[in-house]
Structure 1
Amino acid sequence: MADQKRQKPLRADAERTVQTILTAAERVLSANPAATMEQIAEAAGVARTTVHRRFATREALVDALSEWATRQFHDAVVGAPVTAPPLVTLYQVTANVLRVKIGWGFAMSRRTPQDPEVAQVHADVLERCDTLFLRAREAGVLRPDADLLWVRQVYYALIHEAAQNRADDLTASPNAEVDTLATQVVDTLLHGLGGPGASGSTLTHP
């Protein structure tokens, strides 16, 4: 029993070390995709041997970084409250996903849809999104005749553009910035960009 108690802090410490290395790797590789293990170790504030002990090669480190980001993306969606009103859940999911996409942009770009783990994550996310948008339509957040496939595609596009355009603009208050950005994404999805005169209007062609 005494041995087990002594091992727990070591496991926790090892986990913290890995997280520190992965966080530093994301930051360094985002700025310089060709950065070395030594540069990552320096940014993480650990010895080079520590990085090599956790990750045998640079490729292993990048793979671990991508796997970590994929899990974060999955948790960002499935971890949102499913019993809350759909609008509340939509805002929460949007903010969660933006944090992952902005904070782990390099890692998220390294894995393809053909990767089995990525494919499973995206399948889970798609199912959650479809359920969320169905609840939103039933609750009147979306129009009764809203095409949910189109809604999801527009939503994905808005999140992608928001993350791409704002990844370098986060200030000293990144959480506040992401919350504001999430509000813009959801408001644009639900209300568009038209003014009061656009309500009920139709386009005419010459």
Structure 2
Amino acid sequence: MRADSERTVRKILEAAERVLAANPAATMEQLAQAAGVARTTVHRRFATREALLDELTGWAARQFADAVDAARPDAAPPLVALYQVTANVLRVKTGWSFAMNRTAGDAHPEAARIHAEVRARCVRLFRRAQEAGVLRPDIDLDWTRRVYYALIHEAAGEDTGGDADADALATRVVDTLLRGAGAAAGLAGQPGM
């Protein structure tokens, strides 16, 4: 019985993500229809629309953390881990775009805790990358993390016709992070810099 209940909840959450990504104002009835269950089934699992949205936010945050963990950022070689974390996170962000971009996520205690843990892991990974010579020794790691997050956000939002290739996007993000967009390796020592 419990496995059936978990499958039903997952089915509802996956349908809610699809429908809400296309129409954030969708009703509980529309979500139930997309999940292929009765509206009463949705209401039995989630008393309110807000309760469903909160669970969706928590679910997406857990998917996000699992994606980071799967890349082994504390054990894999830093460059390999950076690429794999990026590809895994892009898969989650493109698959769970509504829930991952929901502003209420900051108010969701579990999601906030998970995102803080992932931020800390990202800083550790960047520190390892810096120690391995992948990142410059003088780079500001917090700034680099914020730029990296912005690159991921932009890549996840890129209109690829619904056929986003996370590996290709990850390559683009990591390449842009590590090489930048300039013709020269750096501006230090350039006239006027």
Following the alignment from structure 1 to structure 2, what is the Cα–Cα distance between the partners of residues 152 and 20?
A: 34
Distance 1:104 1:127, change over 3 A: same
The 8 Å contact of residues 19 and 26 in structure 2, kept in 1 or not, is answered as yes
In the alignment, which of 164, 170, 179 is matched to residue 191 of structure 1? 179
Q: Is the 8 A contact 2:57 2:105 kept in 1?
A: no
> What is the TM-score with the length of structure 1 in the denominator?
0.83
**Mapping of residues 151-162 of structure 1, within 5 Å:** 151-162=144-155
Determine if contact 2:57/2:111 at 8 Å carries over to the other structure: no
Distance 1:71 1:190 in 2: 28
Residue of structure 2 equivalent to 1:6: none
Return the alpha-carbon distance in structure 1 between the equivalents of residues 42 and 186 of structure 2. 60
The percent of aligned pairs where both chains have the same amino acid is: 67
* Alignment correspondent of 1:5: none
1:22-69: per-residue Cα shift (whole Å, max 9, x none)?
Answer: 011011111111111111111112222221221122221111111111
Q: Which amino acid aligns with 2:158?
A: N
Contact 1:76–1:93 (CA under 8 A) maintained in structure 2: yes
The root-mean-square deviation of aligned C-alpha atoms, in Å, is 1.9
> Structure 1 residues 43, 183: CA separation in 2 closer, same or farther (over 3 Å shift)?
same
Answer with 1 or 2: which has the greater Rg. 1
Query: Which residue number in structure 1 is paired with residue 77 of structure 2?
Result: 85
Q: 1:135 to 1:46 in 2, by over 3 A?
A: same
User: Structure 2: which 5+ runs fail to align?
Assistant: none
Q: Are 2:42 and 1:51 equivalent residues in the alignment?
A: yes
1:61 aligns with 2:52: yes
Q: Identify if the C-alpha distance between structure 1 residues 199 and 32 changes in structure 2 by more than 3 Å, giving closer, same or farther.
A: closer
Whether the 8 Å CA contact 1:94–1:159 is kept in 2: the answer is yes
Question: Cα offset for 1:112?
Answer: 4.2
User: Given that residues 80 and 93 in structure 1 are in contact (C-alpha distance below 8 angstroms), is that contact kept between their aligned partners in structure 2?
Assistant: yes
- Consecutive unaligned residues in structure 1, runs of 5 or more: 1-9
Mapped contact 2:57–2:108 kept (Cα < 8 A): no
CA distance in 2, matches of 1:203, 1:101: 38
Aligned partner of 2:109 in structure 1 is 116
Offset at 1:99?
1.6
Match of 2:26 among 29, 35, 45: 35
Give the partner amino acid of 2:101: S
TM (norm. structure 2) is 0.88
Structure 1: distance between partners of 2:48 and 2:108 = 20
